[in-house]
Structure 1
């Protein structure tokens, strides 16, 4: 008889062997693998769509008594392969070598998706004695940055709103209980266009943009404030302008990414950027005002150690003998999206890994039994109280 963890590995291998790079591959093959597995285990599921395209599978297991619902979330789309010639094995091989599951998505997060499917089956076996219910969201639109699966889940009137979500990112030493938020915008800097060899008295758009970059990078940001352990951070992430050597461009576009905190949120980030833009337009005027187009804003969040579902996961890890600590992350994650909806979330606990989003991605299967035990214990504790 095959063990539950062997079944998890088998499913993860099949998922890895169906390329599902976000925004590149067709998601239908990887979703069919999941659907076949869920059908074979008599688990109820349905597809979620965004503008007609499938973005997730939603598995729902109701308990026998009233109570809150909790959700497990893992993505089944992946990062791109990058330079495949740099890999020492095919990115879609799904092999197990020396105890490591290899291939794109092994760590992020097809092994977690397979594990969460197995936990749903285990919950269903004892559902009559449990309160509330368990949702498993298998998101196929995470790596695009659109989080289409999570958005479709939250917008679905037929889905039960979760009391909290556990997101299956890898790493066995930390439970991510918070993260900086973000405010993002594009900035279009204008100037008079013309020939690079002509007599000019005003700087071009690229030159004006360069001055704005300096103003932004020299702007004073607050340090760590209160109990939130990270300071805000501003980064200029792209600069696009110009079409050739002989033409002075009339416009240059910048990308601005501000990582926010409870003491320095989206409004403060936007105000800082607008002050820098106003200073540029006053000191080096252009033919029209510099334009700021906000793109996205997510709040920062941080759960207390005794707040669910973090408390259940940390307690389960301790009871399984793992020295796991809570962590507030610098990068944003789906937890920020959920925080904006008032839904608490953890965003990281799983097996050891290497090569995530890089070359030779792989996940350590020696960690799978205890990670499985921790999630199973945490979920059953949440559904029993």
Structure 2
């Protein structure tokens, strides 16, 4: 293939990726709000037309939570996975958008609409990589899975959980997660430990002569104890550049004006590191609870109910699949750095199963989860080529 033909091929592939992404954007798939059947149908029709084996994934209740495409090479070898969500954040106030959240329009080199950045463009790109491999199974051992999750923005990660629990799916050697941003490859993230605390106290009339320490008063004291608790700094000893963080994220209790409530709930989110893990987070929170109950006794002790827990993770730059993605990006002339993210991501869930993952490298974007979400298309050919090279290197062991 000469230079002009190669360029025409790349341009044609880029246009095809954009067309598929546009169609996905035009089918609203807000997490926990919309029916996912239509957006999954778009993907199924495209994958069928391009000879890519695929099947839906379901949760325990039988609801669809994702789509799994699987392309096998002609001989044994490790499998690798590309993962992108095709559910999205809510639209927010649509009156503030300068275009429809489901327009899927390309304007001035930008793909517009909810999901353009996170992550329907990545999903379309990964489908094309799978189709390219499906046409030449003799070129690689092992296989490639593409996980298209429709239960990501809910926080449930149902697609990933169903994939990991599926006895027919090959366990991947590693996962590359599609997410926007060209300056960094996310190779780690803080973990989390989350709990709901139920703070109790005597109820009564607000006008009563009797003075009581209400559940509200006790809960306010507990929030103070939590937010002033001492936390360690960055975890340099384990090669982890961030320190833990505790945040009170919700406070619920009381109604009206005449009654003091007997129960208030407080939500606590603790971001963890390798040396300050879930065990340390729980001990810190329970220590604050014990201090509260000793200083301001109540008829019922404060309850601590764990809601979620994920470990922190970080890959070295020479670990796969981080090494392949960083190498491919740098070979393309990009000045990228490995980043450990403050927020958790699906890589934490995978880490809890012993599966290494990267969690972000893609095109530049604006309005992520906000108003006027859009993704830049000028960089798409390079981003696509970098992912293709990384996948090829992983499959062939280069």
Q: Identify whether the pair has TM-score above 0.5, normalized to the shorter chain.
A: yes
Q: How many Å apart are 1:64 and its aligned residue?
A: 1.5
Match of residue 42 from structure 2: 33
Match of residue 88 from structure 1: 98
Matching of residue 242 in structure 1 with residue 267 in structure 2: no
Match of residue 9 from structure 1: 18
Aligned partner (choices 278, 282, 304) of residue 266 of structure 1:
278
- SS of the residue corresponding to residue 229 of structure 1 reads coil
Query: In 2, Cα distance between the equivalents of 1:64 and 1:159?
Result: 17
Contact kept in structure 2, 1:65 and 1:129, CA below 8 Å: no
TM-score (norm 1): 0.99
- For residues 326-365 of structure 1, the aligned pairs below 5 Å read 326-365=338-377
- For residues 1-385 of structure 1, the aligned pairs below 5 Å read 3-50=12-59, 51-225=61-235, 226=237, 227-385=239-397
Q: How many Å apart are 1:203 and its aligned residue?
A: 1.3
Query: In 2, Cα distance between the equivalents of 1:287 and 1:89?
Result: 56
Match of residue 4 from structure 2: none
Query: In 2, Cα distance between the equivalents of 1:335 and 1:149?
Result: 13
Q: Which segments of 5 or more consecutive residues in structure 2 lack a partner in the other structure? A: 1-7
Query: In 2, Cα distance between the equivalents of 1:193 and 1:183?
Result: 31
Contact kept in structure 1, 2:129 and 2:388, CA below 8 Å: yes
Contact kept in structure 2, 1:123 and 1:380, CA below 8 Å: no
Query: In 1, Cα distance between the equivalents of 2:54 and 2:225?
Result: 52
Q: How many Å apart are 1:329 and its aligned residue?
A: 0.2
Query: In 2, Cα distance between the equivalents of 1:325 and 1:224?
Result: 19
- SS of the residue corresponding to residue 170 of structure 2 reads coil
Q: How many Å apart are 1:242 and its aligned residue?
A: 0.3
Query: Which whole-Å deviations, capped at 9, do the CAs of 1:186-236 have from their partners, x for residues lacking one?
Result: 000000111111123321111100000000011100111212000000000
Query: In 2, Cα distance between the equivalents of 1:231 and 1:200?
Result: 45
Aligned length in residues? 385
Match of residue 3 from structure 2: none
Query: In 2, Cα distance between the equivalents of 1:14 and 1:20?
Result: 12
Q: How many Å apart are 1:140 and its aligned residue?
A: 0.5
Query: In 1, Cα distance between the equivalents of 2:357 and 2:210?
Result: 56
Query: In 1, Cα distance between the equivalents of 2:226 and 2:211?
Result: 25
Contact kept in structure 1, 2:51 and 2:134, CA below 8 Å: no
Q: How many Å apart are 1:126 and its aligned residue?
A: 2.4
Query: In 2, Cα distance between the equivalents of 1:208 and 1:202?
Result: 11
Query: In 2, Cα distance between the equivalents of 1:200 and 1:223?
Result: 45
Root-mean-square deviation (CA, aligned residues, Å) is: 0.8
Query: In 1, Cα distance between the equivalents of 2:67 and 2:289?
Result: 44
Query: In 2, Cα distance between the equivalents of 1:228 and 1:200?
Result: 53
Q: How many Å apart are 1:19 and its aligned residue?
A: 0.2
Contact kept in structure 2, 1:131 and 1:383, CA below 8 Å: yes
Q: How many Å apart are 1:307 and its aligned residue?
A: 0.1
Query: In 2, Cα distance between the equivalents of 1:194 and 1:94?
Result: 56
Q: Which segments of 5 or more consecutive residues in structure 1 lack a partner in the other structure? A: none
Contact kept in structure 2, 1:16 and 1:94, CA below 8 Å: yes
Contact kept in structure 2, 1:176 and 1:328, CA below 8 Å: yes
- SS of the residue corresponding to residue 57 of structure 2 reads strand
